[in-house]
Amino acid sequence: MLQITSLTISTRTQRLLANKQDQINILANYTQEVQKASTLWDGKSSTSIYFSEIKAKLKKMAVAHHTCNYCENETGSHVEHIFPKSLYPDKTFVWDNYLWACSICNSDYKGSKFKTFNAPNTPQHTDITPLNPRNYNRPNNDALLINPRSENPMHFLWLDLKTGVFVERQNQRTRDWWRANYTIELLALNNREELVKGRKKAYNEYWNMLNRYINVLNATNFNELDAAYSQATPVPRNKAFNFIQTQCCLNIQEAILTYPHPTVWEEMKRQHLHYPKLANLFTQIPTALTWSI
């Protein structure tokens, strides 16, 4: 998971969202707000101008070319409420509470599951998932789930590049440790075999693309460039060699920055000094350390 850069929606769409949210916030009690939030959300038109803009902006903000911001493995398709609308009706039509996610993460794993801390500065927490028997009291906003709209998940998580498994980065049983632990478990980031395999594959692909980039950069003529670029069709020769060489490098860079599992790329940069062979690659192209998703 990576922190994403938020975009601004149009004033028109902001007003439409605010109007919908006001219809919820004006109600007398929490239970009524939850019911109204569900009714308004289910009754919205998914093809309306404002909702189309929301989806388009979320897609643009998403990591690795419209990929799900949670698993980074599947193409996003859902507008996800980070704070579930069934628990936080006051965030149902709030732009900052939306995230682009895949149907698997959104429906099969996260859904309305949620935990919050019991009090500030303490690690004790409570499962407030609506399916659990509980009084319908308004929950606090001190969530365990890492919010990629407002936080950097890499502060909490560390990816083992050898195994493709996430581990908690902070001291055990602290608030930050619990947040990492809950996020990993809730989204099954380590329990879904396809995700772990995908991260391992991504590591190899990023490694190979870096090597290709170096070989392209070191080519001195078109024949060497063809061999280094390794594509089915030869590189064009209708322009100056240096121009074509630069375009090949830019194409590889774009491929790196749009490949699934971009967290693997960011971890390769963060951890490169721990791996001599990886450090050697970045030593040859130090500018790659500045390439960000």
Cβ atoms of 93 and 86 within 8 Å: the answer is no
Residue 47 has what pLDDT?
60
Contact 293, 254 (CB under 8 A): no
The pLDDT of residue 132:
57
What tokens does 48 get?
């309306």
Kind of pairing between the strands at 115-117 and 165-168: unpaired
List b or e across 246-278, with b for residues whose CB sees 16 or more CB atoms inside 10 angstroms. Answer: eebbebbbeebeebbbbbbbbbbeeebeeeeeb
Residue 131 near residue 91, CB atoms below 8 Å? no
Comparing CA positions, the residue from 174, 207, 204, 192 lying closest to residue 70 is 192
pLDDT tens, position by position, for the chain (293 residues)? 999 999 999 999 999 999 999 999 999 899 999 999 999 998 887 668 889 999 999 999 998 778 899 999 988 889 999 999 999 999 999 999 999 999 999 989 999 999 999 999 999 999 998 765 555 688 999 999 999 999 999 999 999 999 999 999 999 989 999 999 999 999 999 999 999 999 999 999 999 999 999 999 999 999 999 999 988 788 899 999 999 999 999 999 999 999 999 999 999 999 999 999 999 999 999 999 999 87
CA neighbor of 202 nearest in space, from 273, 148, 279, 259 = 259
Which residue type, as a one-letter code, is found at position 165? V
pLDDT tens figures, 135-161: 568 899 999 999 999 999 999 999 999
Q: Tell the residue number behind the tokens 């995230």, with chain if given.
A: 99
Token pair belonging to 205? 């692909």
pLDDT for 74: 83
**Alpha-carbon span 77 to 90, nearest angstrom:** 23
Predicted confidence at residue 44, as pLDDT, reads 82
- State the angle between helix axes of 193-218 and 222-229 in degrees (0 to 180), rounded to the nearest 10: 170
Distance, CA of 293 to CA of 4 (rounded, Å): 9
b/e burial code for range 72-96 (CB count within 10 A of at least 16 → b):
bbbebebbbbbbbbbbbbbbbbbbe
Round to whole Å and give the CA distance between 70 and 73: 8
Are 216 and 285 contacting, i.e. CB atoms less than 8 angstroms apart?
no
What is d(CA 256, CA 268) in angstroms, rounded to the nearest whole number?
Answer: 12
Spatial separation of the C-alpha atoms in residues 273 and 293, rounded to whole Å: 20
pTM assigned to the model: 0.92
Residues 50, 17: Cα–Cα separation, whole Å:
8
β partners of residue 75 = 67
Instruction: Note every long-range contact of 18-21, with CB atoms under 8 Å and residues 24 or more positions apart, other chains counting.
Output: 18/93, 20/44, 20/92, 20/93, 21/90, 21/92, 21/93, 21/94
| pLDDT at res. 135 | 55
Residue 259, both tokens: 């490949």
Strand blocks (E) in the chain = 78-81, 98-101, 115-117, 125-127, 157-160, 165-168
Indicate the pairing of strand 125-127 with strand 115-117: antiparallel
